[in-house]
Structure 1
Amino acid sequence: MAATINKKSAILLLKDGTVFYGHAFGKIGTTTGEICFNTGMTGYQEVFTDPSYYGQILIMNNVHVGNYGVKAVDVESDGVKVKGIIGRNLEEKYSRFMADESLQQYFEQQNVVAIDDVDTRALVAHVRIQGAMNCIISSEITDLEVLKAELDKVPSMDGLELASVVSTKEAYFAGDPDSKIRVAVLDYGIKKNILNCLVERGAYVKVHNAKTSFEELESFSPNGYFISNGPGDPAPMDYAVKTIKQILALDKPLFGICLGHQLLALANDIPTFKMHHGHRGLNHPVKNVISGKSEITTQNHGFGVNPDAVRASADVEITHLNLNDDSIEGIRMKTKPAFSVQYHPEATPGPHDSRYLFDEFIASIVKN
């Protein structure tokens, strides 16, 4: 007998009026956010806990999600950050002997509303054509007019500042306090493995709240700065751009990832823009135009850096390009030890092709 017979019905409604019907998974309830999709075939737990997904409802492209269960250490933050999950087969049963619990149990504990049995291939094709938009999932409301009214209340991701929402409330440390390599980290939604990659290379890091003043950052006596990934639109983050400009004036090494990449661009008067449907997955090809080598990269972003403005800049040069759409994947300043990439070199889940960027950052600190 099919397992779905005893499942509660659920509805997915998109802002353009498109409706998908499925079955409830995780917590029974209602959730809203901007719809997006991830093309990765594995690493679902790391994806769900990535703070860059805050405010978004995620379509998982892989047909089976949850089949290897959940393990406590496989997280990138203190909990699930996505607003909801859409899947074709969200699996309650799992076959990984190391797992702690099922995806269903995990979602219930984390209050995650999800919808199962959706034709995700058709849904992803629709989003690729129509673009990212807000949506609502409900396993408790069946009236489409009521769902439409709730969906109308959801703000657009364009212009939405979310980094300060997910940032750490209190500063904390990682690494060896006696290390001569001290890195001040601005947390706009940082992933745990980024810190691991810095600490593994000998850095002692202090992770600061997103709105920490420049003066407080300097009180740590760092000899390098890291600007993290995170959710939302970078354009309204004037507080962050101001701080980054102050950091750049010091001529200390600076490394930015994802949102940090966009903020470094803004600090150089290069605008950002909202992408049609973004880049999210473990398989995006990127060319390092300095070395001529290509990398397979992990990505998660819905905003990008204006290509024409980068090419017109007298202070910034392009270091990496996306081989799928020629978007800007990396920049560096010509007169300062500051650089950034749009993708995730820490890559959990995903390939390790880009870990050399952490080596280059640490080397620049030692050299400086």
Structure 2
Amino acid sequence: MKIRTITTGISLPSSQPTDKIQQAHEFNQQAKEIFAQQGYEVQTTRITTNSWEEYLLNLSKIDILHEIQNLEKTCQSLDINFFNIGYANQPETIALIPDIIKSTSIIYCSSQIGNRETGINLKNTWESAKTIKRIAQETENGYGNFRYCAWANCQPGIPFFPTAYHVGDTSFGIGLELGELVTQAFSASDNIQSAENNLQSSLETELIKIARIAEEISLKFAVEYNGIDTSLAPSLDKHNSIAFAYEKIMSGKFGHPGTLAISGMLTRVLKSVSVKICGYSGLMLPVCEDVGLATRANEQTYDITHLLLYSAVCGCGLDTVPIPGDITVDKIAAILTDLATLAIKLNKPLSARLFPITHKKSGEMTAFNSPYLVDCQIFAVD
């Protein structure tokens, strides 16, 4: 099992105290080394902050961009590759995000479009839809949307980007890559019930080991431990594809009848482990980050409506979904509103990372040229 990320959250009172960033980076490196000594590969270490609206308050647009670029320079000088400035929660700050993405390379961020307390924020939803469209038009192949998402009902402490944001004292969480474990459990199973039992047993065993190490790190460095986000983060290795794992215990392909039941079962297992959990702790179905999901998308065994349906019983929403470049802002806003409705109605953390592909239509292939993404056919949006 691989550790996808050790993510440390810090609260910045302003963009100036870069010592906090350095301290978080040093902690991440020490934690990574401790896990490595125990035989675990740590793929990435990341840092996230409180909402950038809090520490860049009352600055002009030009000054905000300048301060964020300075934050990036600080990170690059420390060899930090993943830095999240949290979320925006006002239309006027959401409107700045395309410029933030365009003028940086390792900065991630998000926008809030709703929560249980106040419901769906339609102004934020509309501005977030405009942001997705602008980023698609203003970055190469629309790839800038890899570093941005819109979310509803997400809490602090999610270790996965771009949704991650932080509140309070410095703390850390763990995100895993569990595809190999699921593939092994499902390969040894005859049906969904035996798959659930096998996965529950192996997951419990492995997560207890990781949690024990994380708790020791927390005590040693006096940094609060948020828990493990048990979400099934994807793999670009086809042998550990989430979609192909499904097909080991169903009669058809991912997207065919039975997919919803397996999705619900997976999330039930991921949330029932006896270790401290945080974040989504659900099923991720990121289309362009999983070879099997991309393959079945090319075969049109599922569509965006299916993904929303699966989100009702599992995971994390709509992630790395390529859509036509000529999609209107209205249609993007409608997709975001549907997602926010699910999140609030079902009290689930859901996010949307959509990729409008400029000058391309549904059925055509993406061309990301990215080490993090696999190309697939663009989804139709009716």
TM-score w.r.t. the length of structure 1 is 0.27
Higher relative contact order (CA 8 A, sep 6+): 2
- When the two structures are superposed, what TM-score results if normalisation uses the length of structure 2? 0.27
Which structure has the bigger radius of gyration? 1
Larger proportion of helix: 2
1 or 2, which has the higher strand percentage?
1
